[in-house]
Amino acid sequence: MAADGFDVVVIGAGPAGYVAAIRCAQLGMRVACVDRWLDDTNKPSLGGTCLNVGCIPSKALLETSELLVKATHAGAYGIRAQGVTLDLPAMMQHKEKVVADLTGGVAQLFRAHGIEWVQARGKLLPNRRVEAVEHGGATRILEAQNVILAPGSTPVELGMAPLKADRIVDSAGALAFKKVPPRLGIIGAGVIGLELGSVWQRLGSKVVLLEAQEQFLTMADAQVARDALKHFTAQGLDIRLGARVLGTNITDKGVSVDYEDKNGRQQMTCDQLIVAVGRRPCTEGLFAPETELLLDEWGFVHVDDQCRTNLPAVYAVGDVVRGPMLAHKGMEEGVMAAETIAGQHAEVNYDIIPSVIYTFPEIAWAGKTEEALKASGVEYRAGVFPFAANGRAKALGAAAGFIKILSDARTDRVLGVHMIGPQCAELIALGVMAMEFGASSEDIALTMFAHPSLSETFHEAALSVLGRPLHVARPPRAARAAAKASTEA
């Protein structure tokens, strides 16, 4: 087999991989991207899990299901809508069109940048050679000066709940139900479970989420998590904490789930069951053993701060390396790897990675939580402002939640931003930029925000850190004391 030579070969065309390939091409390199993804019609498709069966289709369904809820409750706004019904096939067609538009857009970007799309399964061989086994069985060997590994991740499977056709499914299967299940069970009440549960609950399912952990949303700020649990429960999501699944059984009546909680052994029956307990890196079959690529105990590729592996000129980015499995984190790593290969200085600030849960209300955060600051002994001040006191949120009919800003008690530098409420996926960028630029809460307080806007809540949270919010009657006692101490100093 003759070998093809490239400056860079990227294995994987999810967000981390395709962005790495594009940035390498922008920097003047000859690039090939090897990707094995096939859609439901066995047609190759770029974008990986995120664009095909993850971030993008789930957001399309979340948006449509929220529109249905708004339409059915439009009377509260003076709009009389009669006979509002769900057309699930049309909803799914919209989702597929969104996916097709975006995956097709990545293909166009590849053509525009001269990137060779190799539709095959890629495997790293010694000396930066990549074996590409095409779907028809033909094999190519690609030689590269540099290799970037970006194979992504796959859903974790549970031995006690093996996947079964459309009865027990993973997150991808949950995006393609042919009808609304009357009773839907979900194992896992994390980001994926909550988003999928929200979709189908809005469409009419009775949803039960079984979460093994005793505490809800342990990765989020505790105050945000408590507020979120209250809102989700009021919406009709049945979230059972401390529920450890023991086994499942498919019967004529549905899927029987045995689990154990603080009250002992329990059982529930649902029509369909979603397994949403996290994801694992796709490293199986990624490399030949003789390459001696180093993995950690969890199967992640070991990398340094610039995503270099233990092999010369071989990089790994995205879900296959340490850090949160988030598309935007992988994209930034892809850019960093490309620019490092080009001899430029590049880095990713892993301390300020935004996280979002696209429920209603939305949840978002970046930086340190109060719990982390307390555990590390950092003295801080907290400012909280509710959306209920924001004019734009009231006009939108979405006044639930709040924004919290945490700042260093000595320097006033912003250390963390946490929020639950309307459009927090967009608002969290304010917090990320503030922390990236080293802003203080006073810097934010002295900045002018448009009125009326949701962003004013961020402004008022900064004012609350200083003990002087303008649109609540009295600031918290701790904030008043901190403001007084600051003034006296």
Identity of residue 309: T
Q: In the sheet where 264-270 sits, what is the strand order?
A: 244-251, 254-261, 264-270
8 A C-beta contact, residue 312 and residue 206: no
8 A C-beta contact, residue 394 and residue 428: no
Q: How far is 399 from 120, CA to CA, in rounded Å?
A: 49
**Residues 212, 218, 220, 221, CA torsion sign:** positive
Q: How far is 62 from 401, CA to CA, in rounded Å?
A: 19
User: Which backbone phi and psi does 403 adopt, to 5 degrees?
Assistant: -120, 135
Q: Which is catalytic among the residues 113, 328, 418, 451?
A: 451
Q: How far is 229 from 250, CA to CA, in rounded Å?
A: 30
**320 by DSSP, 3-state: which?**
helix
The CB density around residue 49, as the number of other CB atoms within 10 Å, is: 23
**29 by DSSP, 3-state: which?**
coil
Pairing verdict, β 31-35 and 279-281: unpaired
302: annotated active-site residue: no
**Pair of tokens at residue 40:** 């439901």
What are the C-alpha distances in Å from 116 to residues 145, 284, 316? 16, 24, 20
Residue in the block written with tokens 């639950």: 420
DSSP state of 5: E
- Where does 151-309 have alpha helices with state H? 171-174, 191-202, 222-235
**Pair of tokens at residue 110:** 């590849």
- Where does 217-325 have alpha helices with state H? 222-235
Q: How far is 314 from 128, CA to CA, in rounded Å?
A: 7
Catalytic residues: 451
